[in-house]
Chain A
Amino acid sequence: MTQYIIRRVIQLTFVLVGVSVVVFFTLHVLPGDVAQMLLGDRATTEQVARLRQQLGLDQPIYIQYFRFVVGALDGDFGMSLHSSHPAFTDVWDAFPITIQLSLAALFVAVAGGVPLGVLAAVWPLSRFDNTVMTVTLFGVSMPIFWLGLMLILVFGAQLSLLPIGGLMPIGVEPPRVTGMSVVDSFISGRIDYIALSIHHLILPACTLGTIPMALITRITRSEMLSMRSQDHVRTARAKGLSEPRVVLKHVLRNALIPVVTVIGLQLGLLLSGAVLTETIFSLPGLGRLMINAILDRDYPVVQAAALLTAFVFVVVNLVVDLSYAYLDPRIRYR
């Protein structure tokens, strides 16, 4: 297992270098001159040239890349062209909101998807199974931004059950500790804050969690069905074990191994979906920050956000791979 971990970590390092190359070089073909943008249209050619020199933009591209990597390792991506804060500070402040949203969506997906998949597999081809399969097919075909708007329309505007945006009501804010509104509300110890923060998170989490929930339901059902015909399950039945015991102890337990992997791999979907969900629900997370940064051509923020997101994505994928290799020894010897 140790050898496998070392091999995967070395691979991860190469991938991260590749990620930094892609982020840096893609954004360095940005149309427009950053120095010109900073100084405005009235700046003279000399002023632009001086700023280009100060920012190092007159250096050869490989030197700029080297400086970018050294800065990135130190958390220094330069100053945001929009907020004038260090770019990484802006990104780091927005990051907990995206993490909170993604975790809440994952909770919705797993809490809904696994039981639905299990029940559908227990009664295969029944009316319940067909309904679940049809609904999940609709779920995976649903554009997330449209689903969000429809949920707002029904539960926010028509039924007035849930808030339609933001992390908390205007003027209410728990003292910032982690940057996650729910966690900070718990830390503050105020029940009203806790209720409000969860209340605000329900619609965004359901919006973002729907597609992963549909996928988890389908994979759980499929794995349960293929596990049901295995020899060890037949043996368990032959021993006279009750059906619930066979399903829970012998079928579900083994079927869950690939399901756990699929759950882990939903992160890419969640991080991508978070960009859209944050836009719809006006959440000041990483996705929304990045969209605004792209529209403002604030490329230090775009670089910092892209690199941080890709880094988290790659590391979580590694953890998922390692956990799978731990659960299934065949993987690590392949």
Chain B
Amino acid sequence: MTTVEIAITEQAPPPRRSVLRVLRRPTARVGAIIVAIFLLLTVIAPEIAPYDPYDQDFGAALQEPSLDHFFGTDQYGRDELSRVMYGTRTALFSILVADGIALFIGTMLGLIAGFYGKWVDSAIMRLVDVLLAFPYLLLALIIVAALGPSLFHSMIAIGIVATPVYARVIRGQVLAVRTTEFVLAARAIGGSAGRIMLRHVLPNSFTPILVMATLQAGTVVVETAGLSFLGMGAQPPSPDWGSVLAEGQGYFLTSWWIATFPGLAIFMVVLGFNLLGDALRDHFDPRRRKE
């Protein structure tokens, strides 16, 4: 027993770099501020939005930005600012659902493949290869075609499409960790496979998961909006950014504000997550830190 304890102490993984230290990077700070504003808006949108996002006022249709309507109004007279603010909720929901699905299933698949190896690994990784053989939007479209166009189905589709990416990264991480002596020690003291995976291997794969989840968050927002724009996700009159863009497509040549502001919102949120994700990746990757 003593020998095992010594082994655990000696072979414990190196101390992790604090996540918060990443904020010393200016780009990370900008990204974090954008993401924080986005998250705040999802909470306080009903309090600060000047109008109900669904309220139609045909007398005020297609008004350009003014003091009454900062982002103008759409063809039904709905306030664009309020719709963009409420759109943050759909975007956050899509991150939680799609990124959540991908993270959970991908992590489990990667853990099992990497930990058990042999035919289990081969079977899971061939499945991953097949899913990666599709251009991402094509696979999402096939899944939406099967389930039927709706916001929730588009989120499930995007979650499934992103799953192989997580599975690959986590598998690689598990392969690196599973032969370390603290894992061998955990096996030696009789730890079950599930316990070793969840208590020892998974916590030591936290960093790549965090980086991936942050970078994927931006991708999920764009893809969900993209599917809504194509009519495969959120359906009108939902204030989803992609759906708002699609609805305004017929009017934007004469009313520039209709397409400009929802697109700008998507762009800002994606930029925020990309800046934060890049900074996290650089922060935790010694080679990039050196560069």
Give chain A's interface residues, CB within 8 Å of chain B. 11, 14-16, 18-19, 21-23, 26-27, 29-31, 137-138, 140-146, 149-150, 152-153, 156-157, 164, 225-226, 267-269, 271-273, 275-276, 279-280, 290-291, 294-295, 297, 299, 302, 306, 309-310, 313-314, 317
Contact check: which of A144, A150, A164, A309 meets B135 at CB < 8 Å?
Answer: A309
A175 to chain B, nearest CB (A): 31
| Contact residues in A for B146 (Cβ distance below 8 Å) | 26-27, 29-30
Given contacts A140-B274, A294-B141, contact A276 B229 (CB under 8 A): yes
Question: 26 A-B residue contacts at CB 8 Å?
Answer: A15-B130, A18-B129, A21-B130, A22-B130, A26-B146, A30-B145, A31-B148, A143-B263, A144-B226, A149-B245, A149-B249, A164-B253, A271-B137, A272-B135, A273-B137, A275-B141, A276-B229, A276-B230, A290-B138, A291-B141, A294-B144, A306-B134, A309-B134, A310-B138, A314-B133, A317-B133
| Contact residues in A for B149 (Cβ distance below 8 Å) | 294-295
Closest 3 CB pairs of A and B: A146-B263, A18-B130, A272-B137
A163 to chain B, nearest CB (A): 13
Nearest B residue (CB) for A271: B135
Nearest A residue (CB) for B127: A18
9-residue interface stretch from B173-181, B183-191, B265-273: B265-273
Given contacts A272-B137, A276-B226, contact A23 B253 (CB under 8 A): no
Contact B141 A150 (CB under 8 A): no
- What CA separation (Å) do A268 and B133 show in the bound complex? 9
Contact B138 A143 (CB under 8 A): no
Contact check: which of B129, B230, B270 meets A141 at CB < 8 Å?
Answer: B270
Contact check: which of A19, A153, A279 meets B133 at CB < 8 Å?
Answer: A19
Given contacts A275-B141, A291-B141, contact A310 B133 (CB under 8 A): yes
Say yes or no: is B232 at the interface (Cβ < 8 Å to chain A). yes
Nearest B residue (CB) for A294: B145
Contact B138 A271 (CB under 8 A): yes
| Contact residues in A for B271 (Cβ distance below 8 Å) | 137-138, 141
Say yes or no: is B256 at the interface (Cβ < 8 Å to chain A). yes
Say yes or no: is B61 at the interface (Cβ < 8 Å to chain A). no
Nearest B residue (CB) for A311: B133
| Contact residues in B for A272 (Cβ distance below 8 Å) | 135-138
- What CA separation (Å) do A268 and B137 show in the bound complex? 9
Contact B267 A153 (CB under 8 A): no
- What CA separation (Å) do A295 and B231 show in the bound complex? 8
Number of interface residues of B (CB under 8 A): 47
Contact B134 A146 (CB under 8 A): no
- What CA separation (Å) do A146 and B147 show in the bound complex? 26
| Contact residues in B for A317 (Cβ distance below 8 Å) | 133
Question: Chain B binding site: helix, strand, loop or mixed by DSSP?
Answer: helix
Contact check: which of A146, A279, A297, A299 meets B230 at CB < 8 Å?
Answer: A279
Nearest A residue (CB) for B275: A137
- What CA separation (Å) do A246 and B146 show in the bound complex? 55
- What CA separation (Å) do A30 and B291 show in the bound complex? 50
Contact check: which of B133, B137, B275 meets A18 at CB < 8 Å?
Answer: B133
| Contact residues in A for B242 (Cβ distance below 8 Å) | 145
Say yes or no: is B126 at the interface (Cβ < 8 Å to chain A). yes
Contact A153 B231 (CB under 8 A): no
| Contact residues in B for A152 (Cβ distance below 8 Å) | 253
Taking CB atoms and an 8 Å cut-off, the chain B residues in 71-121 that contact chain A are none
Nearest B residue (CB) for A19: B133
Contact A294 B232 (CB under 8 A): yes
Say yes or no: is B252 at the interface (Cβ < 8 Å to chain A). yes
Further 7 A-B residue pairs, CB within 8 A, beyond A19-B134, A149-B259: A15-B133, A31-B147, A146-B262, A268-B135, A272-B138, A279-B229, A309-B138
- What CA separation (Å) do A225 and B135 show in the bound complex? 30
Contact A313 B263 (CB under 8 A): no
Contact A290 B245 (CB under 8 A): no
Say yes or no: is B213 at the interface (Cβ < 8 Å to chain A). no
- What CA separation (Å) do A267 and B133 show in the bound complex? 11
Say yes or no: is B260 at the interface (Cβ < 8 Å to chain A). yes
| Contact residues in B for A30 (Cβ distance below 8 Å) | 145-146
Given contacts A271-B135, A306-B142, A314-B133, contact A153 B252 (CB under 8 A): yes
